[in-house]
Copies of this chain bind each other. A is one copy, B any other.
Amino acid sequence: MEHWLNKRASLTPNQIALEMEEESYTFYQLQQKVKTFAGQLGRFQIKGHIGILSDNSSEMVIAFWACTYLQLPVVFLNTRLAISEWQQQCTDADVEWILTSSRYLDHAEHLNLTVKTFFEVKKLSVYEPASVDEIDLHRVCSMMFTSGTTGRAKAVQHTFDNHWSSAVASSLNLGLLSNDKWLACLPLFHIGGLSILIKSVIYGMPVYLLEKFDTEKVHKAIMEDDVTILSVVAVTCSRLLERLDEGQYPASFRCMLLGGGPAPKPLLEKAQAKQVPIVQTYGMTETCSQIATLNEQDALRKQGSAGKSLFSASLKIIGENGECGAGQIGEIIVRGPYGIAWLLPSDY
């Protein structure tokens, strides 16, 4: 397949790709910045995996896409971890080279790896222009670590195909409108955040990017900046509804995609009273984001349910005596083109 960002920049060059509080880039502008950055980064002739340690920023977005032009799998490091945890993850994921924002430079330098800030790379002259025009869907695009709920955090590899299939499945579920604009305030180093970036390029949809969740900023983005979809967790959803108070979101606002755990009933009732559609979703790093969703119509009637598996996914819950009935506890077995993820190292 043609490189997604090249294809998108050729299809809709003047469409907004990335919108932030202070500035925005079209897909053409984003492509140019990414190609330049890839040309600068190419100077280091990096082999293997490259770590990115950063909060959400346009530099982080540009660095990620630049790595796809250089065919470098990106290992996303969670900025909230301790240095020893980063060290462990870099060892597990075979990272020897790290890109970071200046905020994390001091910390990152304790890792005994090669570390460069986005700013340092941007000052370099272009070594050679980015040359990868094709995406091999079977290549690894990104890696990130599971939360480690059931033991040591594991590195999950996402191929381009995993990301493609996930973006497609989400669009078949939620639909795709020409005015869609998705707000990303989840960290891009989590799959829930990264998946928005991927969708943006595949759909030709602007992403409104915030460094992190901030009630006032998100509220303003919905009320004034034409955001139509928003990824939230229960606690941020609750804060937004409180901030909304007696007000109403614009008619163009479509829904909040709520993941990361079930939503409490009072929250769902509040949302319904304020006519804010909540689409509850179930997914994880291993499934490359959402794999099941609960329609807004069923939000209260089926409270506690994660809904139905997406069109191209299959899901079973298996207990000791085979497939579980309603309310029974078992292991979740998922199948689908975005459920294929490898774990590293191989001896887990």
A311 touches B172 (CB 8 A): no
Contact of A175 among B8, B168, B177, B308 (CB under 8 A): B177
Give the contacts of A308-329 with B (CB-CB under 8 A).
Answer: 308, 311-312, 314
Partner of A314, one of B2, B178, B312: B2
Check A10 for interface membership: any CB of B closer than 8 A: yes
Residues of B within 8 A of A314 (CB): 1-2
Q: How many monomers of this chain does the complex have?
A: 2
Nearest Cβ in chain B — how far from A201, in angstroms?
A: 9
Interface size in chain A (residues, C-beta < 8 A): 22
The answer, yes or no, to whether A46 is at the interface (CB within 8 Å) is: no
Query: Of B175, B202, B312, which contacts A311 at CB under 8 A?
Result: B202
List chain B residues, Cβ under 8 A from A249: none
Minimal beta-carbon separation of A127 from chain B (angstroms): 28
Whether A312 contacts B1 by the Cβ 8 Å rule is yes
- Picked from B1, B8, B202, B311, the residue with its CB within 8 Å of the CB of A7 is B311
How many angstroms from the CA of A1 to the CA of B175 in the assembled complex? 20
Contact of A171 among B4, B172, B178 (CB under 8 A): B172
Task: Please measure, in the bound complex, the distance between the C-alpha atom of A168 and the C-alpha atom of B202, giving whole angstroms.
Answer: 11
Q: Most chain-B CB neighbours within 10 Å: which of A8, A10, A176, A308?
A: A176
CB distance from A124 to the nearest CB of B (A): 32
Residues of A at the B interface (CB closer than 8 Å) are 1-2, 4, 7-8, 10-11, 168, 171-172, 175-178, 202-204, 308, 311-312, 314, 336
A-B contact pairs, 19 of them (CB 8 A): A1-B312, A1-B314, A1-B336, A2-B314, A4-B311, A7-B311, A8-B311, A10-B308, A11-B311, A168-B172, A171-B171, A171-B172, A171-B176, A172-B176, A172-B203, A172-B204, A175-B176, A176-B176, A177-B177
